[in-house]
Amino acid sequence: MTLHYQELGSGDTVVILHGLFGSGDNWLTPARELSRDFHVILPDMPNHGDSPHGTSMQYPVMASETAAFLGEREPVHLIGHSMGGKVAMALALDYPELVRSLVVVDICPVRYEPSHIRILEGMQAVSEEAPDRRTAADAVLAEYIPEAAVRGFLLKSYDARSARWKLNVPLIHGDYTHILDWPYEKGVISAPVMLLYGGRSSYASPEARSAMRDLAPAIHEHCIESAGHWVHAESPDETVGAIREFLGA
């Protein structure tokens, strides 16, 4: 699969995989800082942004699609946030020859409880009404999602000119249980791994971090105490600093 991507800087390659409902732009600010030392690639994940829509959101499939995108490149430093972190872990398990090191941001190899049902319902409602203005799409979403910041994040992926989501909403909805899950029962990641997580996030509970240690026994953990799930947006300087230190820059 040919993914849409941006690239910045030069040097050893760092590839950043964004989370569910997002796009490569979500990591543009940290990427600009990292591009002082690295060649940074920001793909839109399959079924997101300007990348093609596929037929599955299961992690082995997304790992395969990402591996095809990486192609014949030398092994890369891989960073993955949330859903992108699970894709990154799957990639490190299934295609270890492609991964030089791995930074997993606020996600662990466990099954999570559903937390996006109202978001999916709101996005489906927007699809059905097909408003040709973002303000009108926001009004529809507001009936399902009270948080303006969440609506603003989602609406970055709404194309008012064509009155449609760039996101593959039907597939995300249909494969949502797979997105919550972690399908690998065994395996150990051989590349160096850092778990970077927010102290106010529920995604990296002690039990979840224990599962992470089983997957990567020599893991380095870095907690940003003041941050929640959106570590890179809430604490960009500490996020970049921790990544730089881990990568030896």
pLDDT tens, position by position, 66-96: 999 999 889 999 999 999 999 999 999 999 9
Q: Is the pTM of this model over 0.85?
A: yes
Mean pLDDT to the nearest integer, 229-245: 96
Model confidence at 216, pLDDT cuts 50, 70, 90, reads very high
pLDDT, tens digit, 9 for 90 and up, residues 140-197: 999 999 999 999 999 999 999 999 999 999 999 999 999 999 999 989 999 999 999 9
CA distance 20 to 172: 9
- Active-site annotation holder among 23, 64, 82, 201: 82
- Active-site annotation holder among 39, 81, 229, 232: 229
- Enter the tokens of residue 238: 């500490």
Question: CB-based contacts of 147: which residues, under 8 Å, 6+ apart?
Answer: none
Sheet strands (E) in the chain: 5-8, 13-17, 39-43, 76-81, 99-105, 158-159, 164-165, 193-198, 220-224
Q: Domains along the chain?
A: 5-111+182-247 (3.40.50.1820), 117-174 (no CATH)
Question: CB-based contacts of 148: which residues, under 8 Å, 6+ apart?
Answer: none
Active site residue 229: yes
CA distance 8 to 14: 10
* pLDDT attached to residue 249: 67
Active site residue 235: no
- Enter the tokens of residue 50: 């300007």
